[in-house]
A and B are shown apart, each in its own frame.
Chain A
Amino acid sequence: MQNSRIRVRKARVVAGFFAAIAIILWIGGTGWSLTPTASEAESLAAWEKIATVLQHPRCLNCHQLDSPLQGDTRRLHVPRVVRGPDNHGVSAMRCGNCHNEMGNNPTSRTPGAPHWQLAPVSMLWQGLSVGDLCRMLKDPSRNGKRTPEALIEHMATDRLVGWGRNPGEGREPAPIPHREFVDHMKAWVAGGTACPK
């Protein structure tokens, strides 16, 4: 009787051990850590790098109120286009009329990526200081209801975000290589999404 209890206890210990290993492996596989590993200073330093990307024309040009900007000089989009109810333009002037989901058009040089559109009104970045942009980005009411982890995921995998590094001829790519940028995002989050004043 006692032996069988010991066997059950041993089996539970072994099962628990393997379950713990599985959870650790799973967490490792997702790329997230359980606890913040960066300091606030490291988080702030990472944010300063992130901001150079978000304030670059490749990102900022479409985080505008009613009409996007174009080019490295940030001029108004020609032809004139307006936001419309779904952020994709209006009637015969919708973003997808010219911008290809499959990518940049090398002949007309029209840029393209999936869900080409103006960023939602809640995400107006134009004119924000680096600190205000930081506070906006981590505010779920102004970032598409994203958790910090979801922000990393968005920046890492969204193909429209990724387009900024492959914008086609005649446009300067967003600064900082993609992997490095995602590492900065992780460090910013790990250190508590610190924002400058």
Chain B
Amino acid sequence: MITLNVNGKSYELDVSPEMPLLWALRDKLNLTGTKYGCGVAQCGACTVHIDGQAARSCSIMVGQAAGKTITTIEGLSGKVAEAVTKAWQRLDVVQCGYCQSGQIMSAITILTGNKKPTDADIDAGMEGNICRCGTYVRIRKAIHEAAKALA
């Protein structure tokens, strides 16, 4: 059995330690806000937080995440998460929405470590989250707006 701490709750799962964390989140815990995009750590749709750091749950294995604090889009809380989600709504960032939970998780990690990111900081930090609708300009603007709200 493997113990996962997800969104403040502890779960005992009878799964292989090599199972991708995303499989456990979506198929075992029914936390479907985190999306399956490419499955090979190329698109960022599956981004969650592990000990506060953005992580690709399709690539991080259950055994690697055991004993750590996992947060999915459903379990977000705190000032930074609030500022980011409000900015996202205010600027109507989302188009189709499929990549957006991953985008938001990465944006929160950036702003948690850097209260005033430049465009270059944002580009470097968001590089692993792709958006087929091309909402990048609004994403960048929303991160700046969230930073202002947090200042």
Stretch at the interface among A55-63, A105-113, A118-126, A143-151: A105-113
Instruction: Establish whether residues B59 and A94, one from each chain, have CB atoms under 8 Å apart when the complex forms.
Output: no
Instruction: Determine which of B53, B55, B59 lies in contact with A108 in the assembled complex, contact meaning CB atoms within 8 Å.
Output: B59
Instruction: Determine which of A91, A94, A105 lies in contact with B18 in the assembled complex, contact meaning CB atoms within 8 Å.
Output: A105
Instruction: Establish whether residues A100 and B127, one from each chain, have CB atoms under 8 Å apart when the complex forms.
Output: no
B127 to chain A, nearest CB (A): 5
Instruction: Establish whether residues A100 and B126, one from each chain, have CB atoms under 8 Å apart when the complex forms.
Output: no
Size of the A side of the interface (Cβ < 8 Å), in residues, is 24
A80 to B42, CA, bound (A): 10
Size category of the binding interface on chain B:
35 or more
Given contacts A81-B127, A100-B60, A102-B64, contact A94 B53 (CB under 8 A): yes
Given contacts A79-B127, A90-B125, contact A108 B106 (CB under 8 A): no
Report if B10 contacts A (CB, 8 A): no
Name the residue among B59, B114, B130 with the largest chain A CB count within 10 angstroms.
B59
Instruction: Establish whether residues A97 and B55, one from each chain, have CB atoms under 8 Å apart when the complex forms.
Output: yes
Instruction: Establish whether residues B127 and A98, one from each chain, have CB atoms under 8 Å apart when the complex forms.
Output: no
Which residues in B have their C-beta under 8 angstroms from that of A79? 42, 44, 127-128, 130
Instruction: Establish whether residues B64 and A97, one from each chain, have CB atoms under 8 Å apart when the complex forms.
Output: no
Which residues in B have their C-beta under 8 angstroms from that of A92? 47, 53-54, 105-107, 109-110, 125-126, 128-129
Which residues in A have their C-beta under 8 angstroms from that of B110? 91-92
Instruction: Establish whether residues B18 and A106, one from each chain, have CB atoms under 8 Å apart when the complex forms.
Output: yes
User: Contact residues of B with A, CB < 8 Å?
Assistant: 17-20, 23, 39-42, 44, 47, 53-56, 58-61, 63-64, 105-107, 109-110, 113-114, 117, 121, 124-130
User: Contact residues of A with B, CB < 8 Å?
Assistant: 78-82, 90-94, 96-102, 105-110, 112
* Supplied contacts A91-B109, A92-B129, A108-B20, 12 more A-B pairs, CB within 8 Å: A90-B124, A91-B121, A91-B125, A92-B105, A92-B107, A94-B53, A94-B54, A98-B59, A100-B60, A101-B64, A102-B63, A110-B41
